[in-house]
Chains A and B, each alone.
Chain A
Amino acid sequence: AQSVTQPDIHITVSEGASLELRCNYSYGATPYLFWYVQSPGQGLQLLLKYFSGDTLVQGIKGFEAEFKRSQSSFNLRKPSVHWSDAAEYFCAVDVFGNEKLTFGTGTRLTIIP
């Protein structure tokens, strides 16, 4: 079955440390790829997306993600996290370009001082 996997349910990092959140998908073709962030009690905010072209995508809030076709991965990175980055992060794919998203189960990020 087609799926999106975020293997880390919960990650804790120190403020100022680097961050990488993992995302893998199991589709034959290259889908559109997205990362969303959700703060507690809030909606989803688009961080970045991959459509085509350069496989390193820059997003808002200092985040970036790299699409690796050979690994079917779209990992999210940030060189130095801030306490305000504490939230839940969702990877999502649009397999057929039909604006229907399949989500991973999310990774909750905790930041410690």
Chain B
Amino acid sequence: NAGVTQTPKFQVLKTGQSMTLQCAQDMNHEYMSWYRQDPGMGLRLIHYSVGAGITDQGEVPNGYNVSRSTTEDFPLRLLSAAPSQTSVYFCASSYSSYDSGNTIYFGEGSWLTVV
């Protein structure tokens, strides 16, 4: 998935710890978002940003924080990790054009286990 880079790929946390999942894109896309993927539930939107300095909540925002200081970066912070946050996290960036509509690219995912 060229252009969207997520780190780390794997992480184990203890309950109550905090951490940040990093996401960077080099395609100069205004729109970025975070999803989580859980078995049998597909992907669900956590937070999104339509540009630097602008963020908003998605479907499942509780327990997560985001900021967007630059166009390129959109980190996701877990404030106090809980076992329910064990999941695979995907960052996405996208653009919209009159000719082709919306095109959304995903990173390779971050596997997070909270014990």
Asked, given contacts A99-B31, A100-B45, whether A44 binds B90 with beta carbons under 8 Å apart, the answer is yes
Stretch at the interface among B35-43, B68-76, B78-86: B35-43
Tier of interface size on chain A: 20 to 34
Q: Distance (Å) between the CB of A9 and the closest chain B CB?
A: 8
Where the two chains meet, the residues of B that have a C-beta atom closer than 8 Å to any C-beta of A are 1, 31, 33, 35, 40-45, 48, 58, 90, 92, 94, 96, 100-109
8 A Cβ contacts from A34-64 to B: 34, 36, 42-46, 49, 51-52
Where the two chains meet, the residues of A that have a C-beta atom closer than 8 Å to any C-beta of B are 4, 9, 32, 34, 36, 42-46, 49, 51-52, 90, 92, 94, 97, 99-106
**CA of A90 to CA of B45 in the docked complex: distance in angstroms?**
15
Task: Determine whether the beta carbon of B45 is less than 8 Å from that of A97.
Answer: no
**CB-contact partner of B101 in A4, A44, A49, under 8 A:** A49
Smallest Cβ-Cβ distance to B32: which chain A residue: A99
Task: Determine whether the beta carbon of A49 is less than 8 Å from that of B43.
Answer: no
Asked, given contacts A97-B96, A99-B94, whether A46 binds B104 with beta carbons under 8 Å apart, the answer is yes
